[in-house]
Amino acid sequence: MGANGSAVESEETPQPVPRGVAAWCRTCCAAALALLVIAAAPARGQEPEPAGAAQAEDLAKQLSNPVANLVSVPFQFNWEQAVGHEDATRFVLNIQPVVPFSWSEEWNLIGRWIMPVVSQPSLAPGLDSSFGLSDIVFSSFFSPKEPKRAVWGVGPVFALPTTTDPTLGSGKWQAGPTAVVLKQSGPWTYGFLVNHLWSFADASDDERADVNRSFVQPFLAFGTPNGVTYNLASETTYDWEAASGEEWTAPVLVTVSKITRFGPFPFSVGASAGYYLDAPSIGPDWKLRTVFTLILPAKR
């Protein structure tokens, strides 16, 4: 919470807390809360139900696989730091349901949505802050039910414009290909997910910049028998239409997550810290993340 003083005149007016310090304090509190939640999760599950430990390990391994036969609904809270000309905090809530379908006896179709709710600070002098829904991204992967050597999936990806605010969305309909390849060996999961989006139509009469953007997400995860997963990943974007020096957004994230329960449902809680190896001039520089994932295992 910001500590904005009331407008009471006095001979000695307290100095306001600098914006950067206030944002840093807020994010440290958020990180501490997330770590407390994760630390508490094992305590609630000290006495696992029958086959509980084995189920937790299996569910954690499936969550590391983007095309697993698993219905999940992650709520991903992101605090991105040093954004805009005032080095402020951008908050992004990504709602990311994942639903697999049996396409045939040999193939699954996995649908993955990303629905971002964004609180955007002022990006440049004269621009207001903004809040709303950003472009929705929908990916679908055709994946074999019984892969032989590596798990993989391919399909189309679409971006659906949801706002005319240029600081929140592209104002363009977009489409392109997406693919994922991964290997799971013992406690290890490693692989990458890629996609590319091109714009093909305007969402309104306003002239907006074309979209030509690549995304690469390499990941490496290690799972433990009690359902804890340690993950190292990047979520790198290259904007082919951006000005020179503004093309890359390349965070590296370290994540710890734990399988627990939310009433009758398996549940995952996690926290991340990330540093941007490269980013546009308006930032961000680093970020914190918490993730809460409701898990609904699909019938096999």
Q: Is residue 245 part of a domain?
A: yes
Average pLDDT over residues 253-261: 96
For the chain, what is the domain count? 1
Q: Is residue 39 part of a domain?
A: no
pLDDT band at 26 (very low <50, low <70, confident <90, very high): low
Q: Is residue 286 part of a domain?
A: yes
Does the pLDDT at position 234 exceed 60? yes
Among 241, 264, 253, which residue's Cα sits nearest to residue 291? Answer: 253
Tell me the per-residue pLDDT of 150-190, one tens digit each, with 9 for 90 and over: 999 999 999 999 988 888 999 999 999 999 999 999 999 99
Tell me the per-residue pLDDT of 58-114, one tens digit each, with 9 for 90 and over: 999 999 999 999 999 999 999 999 999 999 999 999 999 999 999 999 999 999 999
Question: Who wins on pLDDT, 156 or 12?
Answer: 156
Contacts for 11 with CB less than 8 Å, ≥ 6 apart: none
Does the pLDDT at position 40 exceed 90? no
DSSP strands (E only) in 167-235: 172-185, 188-202, 212-223, 228-234
State the CATH number of the domain containing residue 224. 2.40.160.40
Q: Is residue 15 part of a domain?
A: no
Q: Is residue 2 part of a domain?
A: no
pLDDT band at 52 (very low <50, low <70, confident <90, very high): low
Q: Is residue 173 part of a domain?
A: yes
Structural domain including 234 reads 72-297
Q: What is the DSSP string of 14-46?
A: PPPPPHHHHHHHHHHHHHHHHHHHHHHHHHHTS
Q: What is the pLDDT of residue 94?
A: 98
Share above pLDDT 70 across residues of the chain, in percent, rounded to a whole number: 81
Tell me the per-residue pLDDT of 14-25, one tens digit each, with 9 for 90 and over: 344 344 444 444
